[in-house]
Amino acid sequence: MQSCKSSEEIEQISLFRWAAFAENIYPELKLMYHVPNEGKRSAVTGSRLKQAGLKSGVPDIVLPVARGGYIGLYIELKYGRNKTTANQEMWLRNLRDQNHLTAVCYGWEQARELIEKYLKLSPSFCGVINNRRAEHGKWRLIHDSYDRVKEYNCSNCDTNHIREYKFCPNCGARMDGGNTNGINK
């Protein structure tokens, strides 16, 4: 085996070894993968990879499994005193805006703990339920006595949530204001 280049690489290998072992408990881990964005490359190789779609700052680890109202989990894995770059912060923010859970984890154990907690959340419904198009709905705002938004109520299933999602975590309704865009359900 080729010698490991960095402690971050060792942490990543350790995480994926744990994931292979834990697939018996969490079968969804079979979907987890690494985005090989790191490393020094020649100018020619770097140019070709960019032309092929490689983007700087994309998080290291992706788990494309919907849980807890999120549509997937992205993790930037760090080791020691490493910090995220401006590009990595931008990617994490933009992915959060698209309803993904994002995190920076220091070491494989912290990443493992987050993944386990994430997989224990209830499954999210993302647009299609039982091979039929999901209902559409809108968030009704519930205010506290100071007129601040306290909760968000789904107009489709009448459940309350502490934040807005693109889809209701309970019933899967697409929260687009009730607009079906002329599509029959």
Kindly tell me if the per-residue pLDDT of 59 is higher than 90.
yes
Mapping DSSP to helix (H, G, I), strand (E, B) and coil, where does residue 18 land? helix
- Residue 133 is predicted with a pLDDT of 53
Query: pLDDT higher for 168 or 178?
Result: 168
pLDDT tens digit sequence for 106-138: 999 999 999 999 999 888 765 444 444 557 889
Q: ∠ at Cα 96 (94, 99), nearest 5°?
A: 120
pLDDT of residue 6: 58
pLDDT band at 101 (very low <50, low <70, confident <90, very high): very high
- DSSP H or E run through 51: helix 43-51
**Tell me, what's the pLDDT at 3?**
46
Q: How far apart are CA 54 and CA 9, in angstroms?
A: 19
CA atoms within 13 A on the CB side of 110: 13
Average pLDDT, the chain: 83
Q: What per-residue confidence (pLDDT) applies to 185? A: 36
Residues facing 132 on adjacent strands: 129
